[in-house]
Amino acid sequence: MLKRVGKKHGVTSSVVAMRWVLQQPGVAAVVVGQRNALHLADTRRVFSFQLDEVDALDIDAAYEGAAQPAGDVYSWERGGTW
């Protein structure tokens, strides 16, 4: 899903994921884990487009259908199940 939306907007799926998070109500920032400075130009493209309603609904549907961690957000780091 993210790859298809990324192709539509000319960005990578990770940039689509960041854009989706930023477009959620009450979200002002995302924490990005860059491996090196070569990824910076790609990451900055998050500000070059907006997800339209169809994009957002498709991503929302994929997110809702995906496996979610059980328990608090740190439980999987302690060996919790998905």
Asked whether the whole model's pTM tops 0.85, one would answer: no
Mean pLDDT of the 6-22 span: 95
Cα 9 to chain centroid distance, Å, stands at 14
Over the stretch 38-76, which tens digit does the pLDDT of each residue have?
Answer: 888 889 999 999 999 999 999 998 888 887 767 777 777
What are 77's two structure tokens?
């780091």
Q: What is the mean pLDDT of the chain?
A: 88
Q: Are 34 and 43 in contact (CB under 8 A)?
A: yes
Q: Are 13 and 6 in contact (CB under 8 A)?
A: yes
Whole-Å CA distances, 9 to 19, 33, 68: 11, 22, 27
pLDDT band at 82 (very low <50, low <70, confident <90, very high): low
